[in-house]
Structure 1
Amino acid sequence: MTVAPEIHDVSPEKLLAPVLSAFWDEPRSWTLETYLRHEGYEGARKAFAMQPDEVIAYVKDSGLRGRGGAGFPTGMKWQFIPQGDGKPHYLVVNADESEPGTCKDIPLLFANPHSLVEGMLIASYAIRCNHAFIYLRGETVPVLRRLHEAVREAYAAGYLGRNILGSGLDLDITVHAGAGAYICGEETALLDSLEGRRGQPRLRPPFPAVAGLYACPTVVNNVESIASVPAILNRGKEWFRSMGSEKSPGFTLYSLSGHVASPGQYEAPLGITLRQLLGMSGGMRPGHTLKFWTPGGSSTPLLTDEHLDVPLDYEAVGAAGSMLGTKALQCFDETTCVVRAVTRWTEFYAHESCGKCTPCREGTYWLVQLLRDIEAGKGRMADLDKLADIADNINGKSFCALGDGAASPIFSSLQYFRAEYEQHVKGKGCPFDPAASTAWADGPNSAGVTA
């Protein structure tokens, strides 16, 4: 039996860093009036006092890394845009938040949309862009309305349109609602969808920085990445680098969900640990202990209670065998069946596969068939190796990262909880359902599951 480590009380004031979420709880936090009271558009004014290339260098020096999953340096991505090529340049904000467990961009847009609008203003100035797009997950109609209103307010106040704040920059923003396809979170599939075609990933090269939207140089950034830029310009890159670690500086939003006492958004410097976040949020639900968790949504390899003290930054989580991803911390207690959870995730990936490449299209289908049999007690011991084999044939061999994401929970759950898979096979059913199996008559602890 593994006992969950003790969680100590932690003062939120010492660990949290509310920047994007600083005034979410204020009445009408989404309005331009409220945003201006909190130094809104001051970062844009400071950016306009610099040359575009200086803005790119400033963001690059700040160390801001993409908050959408891969953690690629934001300033470096802007730097890839060729200058003097005679083509229009585009900025596209990926607001198609679809990763299971991820819920940071939608609350941000709902409560503080002007942080994104100002960030787009600064980024567009830096990359010489005159038309920017927000690709929003279409089911979030209230957020769509908030964004439209924020853009309208920005036009009316002179923060969008012609010769903005006397900078010489002309910028229009188009808010586009997608149709709810997970694959459109992949940047090239998003671009195809934005152009009116079926959302499927493109072959690269050419990369979007060279031939993106309408075959022109394009930057695609996550909502949180762009929304973080105004604070960096306004308060300084040294202030930003004073938080987090050397290679993963700054603040970010952690989405804590699952079997926890107080789920929600926790904005803190990179490098905070799950133990500290649980300490601030009241820990796991009363009477239960942590069994496994995801550091960045279901497409990142799951971790266990052994990893409670892993700093939640890109390097440390990678060294622990997972990915920080979107910082979607889904926490599951000892009542959760790992096989059932992984099966549900895999069903999602099979359903959302665009079907363009064979490894993902066929592999996710067969993973689902095997997992359903194992969960129902119809599996064989050989199926466990077959699961790993199919996942290996998907991982790194599919057209985009959806296949890798589908393989991650398979590999990691077999690594940490293979005994639980075996119990499903030997007991002819799920050991968490006493009516379906007698193999765990002595309780789940007898099979080595975290308690």
Structure 2
Amino acid sequence: MPVKIRVGLGSCGIAAGGMKVWEAVKAEAERRSLEIEMQQTGCVGMCHHEPLLDLIDDGGEVYTYGHVTPGRVKRIFDDHVTGGQPVAEYLVGTSSQPNDFLSGQVRIALRNCGVIDPEEIRDYCARGGYAALRQAVTAMRPEEVISEVKASGLRGRGGAGFPSWVKWQAARQAEGDVKYIICNADEGDPGAFMDRSILEGDPHSVLEGMALAGYAVGAGEGVIYVRAEYPLAVRRLEVAIKQARKEGVLGQNIFGSGFSFDIRIKHGAGAFVCGEETALIASLEGERGMPRLKPPYPAEQGYWGKPTVINNVETYANVPWIISQGGKAFAAVGTDKSKGTKVFALAGKVKRGGLVEIPMGVSLRKVIFEIGGGIKSDRKFKAVQLGGPSGGCISEQLLDTPVDYESIVATGAIMGSGGMVVMDDTTCMVDIARFFLDFTRKESCGKCVQCRIGTKRMLEILERIVNGEGREGDIELLEEIANQVKQGSLCGLGQSAPNPVLTTIRYFREEYEVHIRDHRCPARQCRALISYRIDPERCGGCGSCASKCPVGCISGKKKEPHVIDQSQCIKCGTCLETCPSRYKAIIVE
């Protein structure tokens, strides 16, 4: 049996150099005349170790190598492939001894990511793929499929956490011969990449989940609304749909059951507001992506006025597992009100960034410090942003909050689609609020006056504060406008846009007050409120800072202390970055 080697070729792996590793493996095998079974795969979640290479031996043991380069490929071939001895210094885990990042997870939605070739339907079927669909259409009534989803307690993983079975049943009971299934793959949160990774690593799970939904509600057509900025995900979806049609699991008379269902792809143009289901439907219909009044809900009158079920990528990816294993098995994971697992994109100032899938109810502390390995450079934890630009910033005192819908909402944040951005003590919370509000202000469709004007006015206040022009009463004014925006907005974008501002005021009010009253940024990040100077006692006169200064405001003789002309300094921080570590002469005040 030939040695099997698989290389992580999700977007993160390719960006880190995965294709060079792939070519190096091919070249080494050819050079040595070795029979090697090569397999591409998606992201297993360990983005911090990319590029990744798995070597699977005759006994099925998987040896995972991280930070692989073409040079390391040669060593792996020398020692492990031909010598039988794993290269310990390159290993980041094995199947029998998984590392801390993977061992703390329960993988349902991500069950195949990093394991199968996403462009090969046989790999998916070998792990039970499309067995749930066969079981449903040949041995279950549509109502029984909905009952299993109800028993599972599955809630929509796109943000609001609405019970999936309620949507499905409403669409099932709605009148009409034509019904639709829509997959919301319009993942627009900065720092979020859960849906992209599933589409790149296991597209068939989403297709099967949509087909099961179609059977349950009586729909014959599905549409995947996916961001055009995800070219690899789109290409692998196209390959998967073509394969599924060829194998007869999409199309006419699936498994001879009389049930017919097909799927097509619609490229989204990158409008964040189209993550809201009625705005997404408007975009699908060729209209500008703007939300509509509800009721009627899409399950009653959705796409082209027909009953429509909309769920996101992660939600559909769970459905085949639920039908195969039973709703009770999914409900056995998680908490009383939040069943199953949730996928998060762990990013920011954390040592081990990537995708994590955890049981609902696990604490934020465990996710960040046990699975994520803690804060980079062992700095002090300050906050974690949950729910993307419409989410909230949770402080250190709430690190033991369990990750479930109700507990997260109680903090002022939201679960969202699963973005989790970690911040350390170098982060300015006022500037973070400004950053996220700038995003939502630009992405507002403008339909609601409160959202269109309110987010703009809030942003103006925050910009004044970070520029050292804050006024007494600004904090109270921000709170007042924020509540008006929340109450007066039609869709989830406007209703949640003020969350970053309200939570940073709630947990970091003193930081706002220092900006306004003392004209000082405690985190030393706001340019208008900081200055750079050179400590003459530490400066060795090497001239590194002067040679790199973009405006030439640093002067001094060689081997003598230098000085910064404050009237010319643009506070870019280049001097801080270039000062040799043996001196550390640049002081930020």
- Do the structures match in fold with TM over 0.5? yes
Match of 1:120 in 2: 210
Output the CA distance in 1 between the equivalents of 2:351 and 2:296: 47
* 1:177 and 2:252 are equivalent in the alignment: no
* 1:228 and 2:318 are equivalent in the alignment: yes
Question: 1:438 Cα deviation (Å)?
Answer: 6.8
* 1:216 and 2:306 are equivalent in the alignment: yes
Which residue of 464, 480, 485 corresponds with 1:394? 485
295-304 or 160-169, which deviates more? 295-304
Would you say the 8 A contact 2:154–2:163 is kept in 1?
yes
Question: 1:261 Cα deviation (Å)?
Answer: 0.2
Would you say the 8 A contact 1:134–1:173 is kept in 2?
yes
User: Residue type matched to 1:196 in 2?
Assistant: G
* 1:249 and 2:339 are equivalent in the alignment: yes
Question: 1:20 Cα deviation (Å)?
Answer: 2.8
Output the CA distance in 1 between the equivalents of 2:352 and 2:529: 33
Match of 1:282 in 2: 373
Q: 1:415 to 1:51 in 2, by over 3 A?
A: same
Match of 2:135 in 1: 46
Match of 2:424 in 1: 333
* 1:416 and 2:540 are equivalent in the alignment: no
Would you say the 8 A contact 1:427–1:438 is kept in 2?
no
Match of 1:306 in 2: 397
For 1:263-274, list aligned pairs within 5 A.
263-274=353-364
Question: 1:34 Cα deviation (Å)?
Answer: 1.4
Output the CA distance in 2 between the equivalents of 1:317 and 1:384: 24
Question: 1:396 Cα deviation (Å)?
Answer: 2.1
* 1:152 and 2:238 are equivalent in the alignment: no
User: Residue type matched to 1:292 in 2?
Assistant: A
Q: 1:289 to 1:30 in 2, by over 3 A?
A: farther
282-291 or 128-137, which deviates more? 282-291
Question: 1:286 Cα deviation (Å)?
Answer: 2.0
* 1:237 and 2:313 are equivalent in the alignment: no
User: Residue type matched to 2:360 in 1?
Assistant: L
Would you say the 8 A contact 2:176–2:307 is kept in 1?
no
Which residue of 126, 150, 167 corresponds with 1:60? 150
Output the CA distance in 2 between the equivalents of 1:16 and 1:233: 21
Question: 1:84 Cα deviation (Å)?
Answer: 7.0
Question: 1:303 Cα deviation (Å)?
Answer: 0.8
Secondary structure of the 1:395 match is: helix
**1:405-433: CA deviations, max 9, x gaps?**
21111111111111111111223353414
**Count of residue pairs brought into register by the alignment:** 432
Would you say the 8 A contact 1:350–1:361 is kept in 2?
yes
Secondary structure of the 2:310 match is: strand
* 1:373 and 2:474 are equivalent in the alignment: no
Output the CA distance in 1 between the equivalents of 2:199 and 2:336: 29
**1:330-387: CA deviations, max 9, x gaps?**
1100000011111011111110010111000001111111111100101112222111
Which residue of 310, 320, 331 corresponds with 2:411? 320
Output the CA distance in 1 between the equivalents of 2:399 and 2:120: 38
Match of 2:55 in 1: none
Q: 1:373 to 1:167 in 2, by over 3 A?
A: same
For 1:68-83, list aligned pairs within 5 A.
68-83=158-173
Output the CA distance in 1 between the equivalents of 2:339 and 2:257: 30
Larger RCO, structure (CA 8 Å, separation 6 or more) = 1
Q: 1:38 to 1:375 in 2, by over 3 A?
A: same
Which residue of 195, 210, 225 corresponds with 1:135? 225
Output the CA distance in 1 between the equivalents of 2:142 and 2:109: 24
Q: 1:88 to 1:419 in 2, by over 3 A?
A: same
Would you say the 8 A contact 1:89–1:128 is kept in 2?
yes
Moved over 3 A (4+): 10-15, 433-439
Secondary structure of the 1:81 match is: helix
TM-score w.r.t. the length of structure 2 is: 0.71
Output the CA distance in 2 between the equivalents of 1:84 and 1:219: 11
Question: 1:239 Cα deviation (Å)?
Answer: 1.4
* 1:19 and 2:19 are equivalent in the alignment: no
Output the CA distance in 1 between the equivalents of 2:101 and 2:461: 44
Question: 1:116 Cα deviation (Å)?
Answer: 0.1
**1:37-67: CA deviations, max 9, x gaps?**
1111111122121001111111111111110
Output the CA distance in 2 between the equivalents of 1:205 and 1:136: 25
Question: 1:436 Cα deviation (Å)?
Answer: 4.4
Would you say the 8 A contact 2:389–2:440 is kept in 1?
no
Secondary structure of the 2:114 match is: coil
Would you say the 8 A contact 2:190–2:388 is kept in 1?
yes
Among the aligned pairs, what percent are the same residue?
40
Match of 2:177 in 1: 87
* 1:344 and 2:453 are equivalent in the alignment: no
User: Residue type matched to 1:169 in 2?
Assistant: F
User: Residue type matched to 2:477 in 1?
Assistant: K
Question: 1:262 Cα deviation (Å)?
Answer: 0.7
Question: 1:21 Cα deviation (Å)?
Answer: 2.1
State the superposition RMSD in angstroms: 2.0
Would you say the 8 A contact 2:204–2:240 is kept in 1?
yes
Output the CA distance in 2 between the equivalents of 1:388 and 1:272: 31
User: Residue type matched to 1:92 in 2?
Assistant: I
User: Residue type matched to 1:165 in 2?
Assistant: F
TM-score w.r.t. the length of structure 1 is: 0.92
Output the CA distance in 2 between the equivalents of 1:316 and 1:205: 28
Question: 1:146 Cα deviation (Å)?
Answer: 0.9
Match of 1:445 in 2: none
Output the CA distance in 1 between the equivalents of 2:510 and 2:474: 14
